[in-house]
Amino acid sequence: MSFQNKLGVLKQRVKRDVTRTLITQSVSFRTRRLIVFLTPGFDSPSGGILSIASIYRESAALENLHGARVAICTVPGEPSLLKYTWFKNKNYLLDLEALLNRCNELDYLLVHIPEYAVNKVHEWLESYWPELQKIKELHLNVMVQHIDLVEGQDLKAWLALVKLRAQRRTKLTPILKLVSPLGIPSHRLSSLQWSQKTISISYYKKKGAGS
Pick the CATH number of 3-210 from 3.30.460, 3.40.50, 1.20.1260, 3.30.70: 3.40.50
Percentages helix, strand, coil for the chain (3-state, rounded to 5) are 45, 15, 35
Q: How many residues does the chain have?
A: 211
Domain ranges, ordered by start, for the chain: 3-210
- Residue 132's identity, in one-letter code, is L
In 3-state terms, what secondary structure has residue 9?
Answer: helix
Q: What are phi and psi of 176, to 5 degrees?
A: -95, 115
Nearest to 37 by CA among 96, 78, 86: 96
Q: What is the mean pLDDT of residues 146-163?
A: 72
C-alpha of 174 from chain center = 16
Q: What is the pLDDT of residues 35-87, one digit of tens each?
A: 999 999 999 999 999 999 999 999 999 999 999 999 999 999 999 899 999 99
Confidence band (pLDDT; 50, 70, 90) for 16?
A: confident
Degrees, nearest 5: CA angle 168-132-155: 80
Q: What is the pLDDT of residues 100-134, one digit of tens each?
A: 999 999 999 999 999 899 899 989 988 998 888 88
C-alpha of 179 from chain center = 21
CA atoms of 38 and 68, how far apart (whole Å): 16
CA atoms of 15 and 17, how far apart (whole Å): 6
